[in-house]
Amino acid sequence: MAGMLYLVPTPIGNLGDVSQRARETLEQADFIAAEDTRVSLKLLNHLGIKKSLVSYYEHNKAFKGDKIVQRILDGETCALVSDAGSPAISDPGEDLVKQCAAAGIPVCAIPGPCAAITALSISGQSTGRFCFEGFLSTAKKSRREHLESLKGEQRTMIFYEAPHKLANTLEDLRDVFGPDRGISLCRELTKLHEEVIRTTLDGALALYAETPPKGEFVLIVAGAPEEVQESASPEDAATRVAQLMAQGLSRKDAVKQTAQELGLPKNTVYEAALKAEEDQ
């Protein structure tokens, strides 16, 4: 009879967050598959658990996945852990779950720490409807394309981000969603220096221009306001820019003010204004 795959969440900072059930599952599993065996060994030592560990990470998952699936089909139970948080959420566990599901192996998720949900719940942003966007690409072009595809997104958006990429990401978020869009920067959750900064995209950029970001971040970005979706089109933007220019504002200032009034990115307003001028 086939065994079972257990997804066991581990702390995202505070070691006290290992649940009783997570601990028991680790104790009872035949073996543990870990993203980084050195990281997981520290946790197991802390919990006083001695267990056979195999590595399962991004660059060996194709090959290791088959072996793990075979062991489970032969009757063993496997507990999957990632470096931190819930396995399969923005880490390689996703593929092992797919493989097990395809092989008819039962998969059981133990609920527990997850950076995305922890951040969302304390963000102060709307939590009724949200979407998880994981990590943005490190390549500027794909990052911008990803964000452009979210331009009209009205649900609260959750992003994971590394500190050294934060400044570039904030700039792109500001350019696409506008300077006044709300953001909650949730940093070092459950750790000693846990912090939630609730500000705007411009505010966040100003803040980190002075103090370089440190630690792990989840970004919770407010969705697009409903009225902007319904009312502001590029044509509206072009008309408003023309009005403001007729009142004596420079094109640059008219674009800036229109973008703020209509909640549109400056680029969009600028392009709409240029197109309207060319079409005349």
For residue 64, count CB atoms less than 10 angstroms from its CB and return exposed for 0-12, middle for 13-18, buried for 19 or more.
middle
Pairing of strands 182-187, 195-200: antiparallel
- Is the CB of 7 or the CB of 68 nearer to ligand SAM? 7
Residue 132 has a CB neighbour count (10 Å cut-off) of 16
Q: Contacting ligand SAM (CB under 6 A), which of 32, 78, 81, 91? A: 91
- Widest Cα–Cα separation across the chain: 79
Q: Which 3 state secondary structure label does DSSP give 134?
A: strand
Quick note: the x/- pattern for ligand SAM over 200-219, rule CB under 6 A, is ----------------xxx-
- For the CB of residue 219, give the shortest distance to ligand SAM in the complex, in Å: 8
- Helix (H), strand (E) at residue 25: helix 20-28
Stretch in the footprint of ligand SAM (CB under 6 A) among 80-88, 101-109, 226-234, 269-277: 80-88
Nearer to ligand SAM among residue 153 and residue 216 (C-beta): 216
Question: Can you tell me which of 18, 84, 205, 262 binds ligand SAM, judged by CB under 6 A?
Answer: 84
Question: Closest Cα to residue 91, out of 39, 144, 156?
Answer: 39
Q: What are the backbone dihedrals phi and psi of residue 109, each rounded to the nearest 5 degrees, phi first?
A: -100, 125
Residue 271: both structure tokens together: 């392009």
Comparing CB distances to ligand SAM, the nearer of 166 and 232 is 166
CB closer to ligand SAM, 114 vs 254: 114
Asked whether position 12 contacts ligand SAM by CB under 6 A, the answer is yes
Provide, rounded to whole angstroms, the least separation between the CB of residue 241 and ligand SAM.
38
**Residue showing tokens 């370089």:** 212
| Binding-residue total with ligand SAM (CB under 6 A) | 24
Interacting positions 173-202 with ligand SAM (CB under 6 A): 186-191
Q: Is 232 in the site for ligand SAM (CB under 6 A)?
A: no
Tell me, rounded to whole angstroms, the distance of Cα 188 from its chain centroid: 14
Q: Judged by CB under 6 A, does residue 115 bind ligand SAM?
A: yes
What is the rounded radius of gyration, in angstroms, for the C-alpha atoms of the chain? 23
Cβ neighbours of 15 (radius 10 Å): 12
Task: Provide the 3-class DSSP secondary structure of residue 176.
Answer: helix
Query: Measured from the CB atom, is 168 or 260 closer to ligand SAM?
Result: 168
Point out the residue whose Cβ comes nearest to ligand SAM: 85
Q: Does 114 bind ligand SAM (CB under 6 A)?
A: yes
By CB under 6 A, name the binding residues for ligand SAM.
Answer: 12-13, 82, 84-86, 89-91, 114-116, 160-162, 186-191, 216-218
